[in-house]
Copies of this chain bind each other. A is one copy, B any other.
């Protein structure tokens, strides 16, 4: 992959963006340290941001749009590990290469900082290092939940869980409709797009959700949806 085309350059401190705080990541290192150069870049829908096993050169934060990160098998089977929405930080690595491929789902704008610069700062600033640790740990918490979903939940439970997750996160980023198609949802949930579609139709038939267009899904009975999602037992 080529270096992303930069559309704007600015010193970190000058950035006034204040994206909604997000569940997983607290990006203290974006906007927290004077020696970090922060730039911006935009991608079209379905454009690759970085590829699996490429050198991990940058750390990213979504400003606008949505991003999917995934792994592929040799025959094309795809597993999407996470969706990243406005405010989310992604691409944090401790090894030389990215673990996954990242692509823009919609047209998207991201902020980025050089990973080498962040690493240099982290080695002397424990606060920054802890923020990076917290970010990776947050991603790990999500992955742990998602392994439960992929390994043990039924199709109906997976889709209900997904709709609850997106309902919460999209509300936060003030988006009103899903950025991803049924195939993306299927590849996130370990299902086919047909099974996802059928499960959503079933929820609609029960009056649990209401669709106004395939991408715009309103939750009508959140408690019913949560019950179907089989929320993890906390004993």
Interface string of A64-106 (1 = CB under 8 A from B): 0000000111110111010000000000111100011000000
Number of copies: 2
- List chain B residues, Cβ under 8 A from A81: 144, 147
For residues 112 through 146 of chain A, which have their beta carbon under 8 Å from a beta carbon of chain B? 122-130, 132-134, 136-141, 143-146
Chain B binder among A148-156, A167-175, A199-207: A148-156
Q: Is the CB of B99 within 8 A of A233?
A: no
Check A51 for interface membership: any CB of B closer than 8 A. Answer: yes
- List chain B residues, Cβ under 8 A from A71: 144-145, 147-148, 232
Q: Is the CB of B73 within 8 A of A232?
A: yes
Check A230 for interface membership: any CB of B closer than 8 A. Answer: yes
- List chain B residues, Cβ under 8 A from A136: 133, 136-137, 140
Known: A133-B132, A136-B137. A74 touches B126 (CB 8 A): no
Q: Is the CB of B73 within 8 A of A152?
A: yes
Q: Is the CB of B151 within 8 A of A233?
A: no
Q: Is the CB of B233 within 8 A of A73?
A: yes
Known: A133-B94, A136-B137, A151-B79. A233 touches B72 (CB 8 A): yes
Among B53, B123, B128, B235, the residue within 8 A (CB) of A53 is: B235
Q: Identify the 5 closest CB pairs spanning chains A and B, nearest first.
A: A151-B190, A129-B129, A143-B143, A133-B133, A150-B150
